Amino acid sequence: MMTPDLVVVGGGPIGLATAIAVRQRGLEVLVVDKARPPIDKPCGEGVMPEGLAALRQLGVEVDGRDGLPFSGICFTEGGLSAEGRFPGAAGHGLGIRRRLLHQMLVDRADEIGVASRWNEPVTGMSGAGVQIAGKNVPCRWVVGADGRGSRVRRWANFRLPRPMAHRRTGLRQHFRVRPWSDLVEVHWHNLGQAVVTPVTPDEVCVSIFTSDHSRPMAQLMGLFPELGRRLRDACATSSVRGALSGSSEMGAVVRDRVALIGDAAGAIDALTGEGLSLGFRQAVALGEALERDDLARYQVAHRRIRRMPMRMASLMLCVGARAGMRRRVLQAFNSQSQAFGLMLGVHTATLPPSVLRPGLIAGLIRGLVAAPHA
């Protein structure tokens, strides 16, 4: 077996994207994971426009044959809604089942010569490489793509992530029903949010994020009457799966010859819908840095890529905690749909912040001030 330049610990979508990005630059890459593909984990299953652009850079072409395109976001609560559509330059997002996306990434990695060892956990690290099945595998670099509880992060003595803000539970289930919108819907309530992503012509993915850790999915669905009405006669096509949701931040994501990526490098609340897209963009940046043998370059890029999604997560959770503020924001966005769309473009890194001209921001502020109290 070849001696890899890079070992990626964690073969989920972000780990595979990293392996592909590095292999495209001529380096030898090994991916190791204790599971066997295709791997399914709780996920909102939406890839934002900038995530699709990153996948194209990796040679992974996903389109309407693989999932279902969506053209923007709709916020809704209590009969009031506001729609924001991605600007034309941004393109569209795509709802796609995670297992399918994972298999596409596995196939692409195999196609370009990424080596893989599935069903074999990494059990440790040394100065010369990593330990797999009790044997040392030497390598030049190690990437930890092994999630929030990253063992690579611990083995490499990174500082622990800053405490997770707004620690919440995320639950996911699929339903057999024809999607009623070409938008991702975000339903709001004092106890949390329900996000509906169309994933096939006859199926939607429903994710609920809440700080109430005791209620089952069926009870939480009752918090969103409009969603309940839509799904009244729909059959569940998957079991409920759950995971932790919340934001955390790392002071550094590189140390010596080790880099962290995805949730191992600091998580962002899943409500933003940016998890996969953020990771794919990080993978491209890490590939460029390793090609130049300059991990400091990845550190800078990682901070830049995370900046806007982190701000958006904080803003959404702040607004979401206040019923009166939610209603005022919905009313303002409803009357300023252009501003909403441009903000989506900036949020997804497909438009520069300069498009948010002072006059447009002033109009949005006037809408907030003018909106009647709930």
C-alpha 232/C-alpha 230 separation (Å) is 6
Closest CA to 134 of 121, 143, 145, 146: 121
- The better pLDDT of the pair 362, 185 is held by 185
Please give the average per-residue pLDDT across 10-31, as a whole number: 97
| pLDDT score recorded for residue 359 | 66
DSSP SS3 for 284: helix
User: Which of 110 and 268 is assigned the larger pLDDT?
Assistant: 110
Q: What is the pLDDT of residue 361?
A: 64
Top-confidence residue, 42 or 182: 182
Average pLDDT, the chain: 89
Return the residue matching tokens 């929030």. 148
Query: Count of H helices and E strands in the chain?
Result: 11, 20
Q: Does the structure show a pLDDT above 70 at 215?
A: yes
> What's the pLDDT score for residue 161?
80
Q: How many CA atoms lie within 13 A of 316 on its CB side?
A: 26
Query: What percent of the chain lies above the pLDDT cut of 70?
Result: 94
Q: Residue ranges of the domains in the chain?
A: 6-45+98-161+250-316, 164-245, 322-370
Is it the case that residue 171 has pLDDT exceeding 70?
Answer: yes
At 61, the amino acid letter reads E
* Confidence check: pLDDT of 92 > 80: yes
- Name the nearest CA neighbour of 58 among 285, 268, 303: 285
Per residue in 145-163, pLDDT (tens digit) is 999 899 999 999 998 887 6
279 and 262 in contact (C-beta within 8 Å)? yes
Buried b (16+ CB within 10 A) or exposed e, 86-113: bbeebbbbbbbbbebbbebbbebbeeee
- Residue 296: both structure tokens together: 């400091």
Q: What global pTM score does this model have?
A: 0.91
Predicted confidence band of residue 217 (pLDDT cuts 50, 70, 90): very high
Backbone angles phi, psi at 39, to 5 degrees: -95, 130
pLDDT of residue 239: 94
CATH architecture, domain defined by 6-45+98-161+250-316: 3-Layer(bba) Sandwich (3.50)
Asked whether the predicted pLDDT for residue 336 surpasses 80, the reply is no
The residue with greater pLDDT, 152 or 63, is 152
Indicate if the pLDDT at residue 272 is higher than 90.
no
Per residue in 237-261, pLDDT (tens digit) is 999 998 888 788 888 999 999 999 9
With cut-offs at 50, 70 and 90, classify the pLDDT of residue 322: confident
The pLDDT, as a whole number, for residue 256 is: 93
Largest Cα–Cα distance in the chain? 68
HSE-CB of 247 using CA atoms within 13 angstroms: 21
Residue 144 has pLDDT above 90, yes or no: yes
pLDDT at 1: 55
Cβ 277 vs Cβ 57: under 8 Å: no
pLDDT at 372 over 60: no
**CATH class of the region 164-245:** alpha beta
Q: Which helix (H) or strand (E) holds 6?
A: strand 6-9
pLDDT at 169 (0 to 100) = 87
Residue 371 has what pLDDT? 55
Confidence of residue 204 (pLDDT cuts 50, 70, 90): very high
- Least confident piece of the model among 4-8, 163-167, 287-291, 352-356: 163-167
Structure tokens at 122: 């990494």
Position 366 confidence tier, pLDDT thresholds 50, 70, 90: low
Asked whether the CA dihedral 171, 172, 177, 179 is positive or negative, the reply is positive
Percent above pLDDT 90 for the chain: 59
Q: What is the mean pLDDT of residues 300-309?
A: 92
Backbone angles phi, psi at 77, to 5 degrees: -165, 135
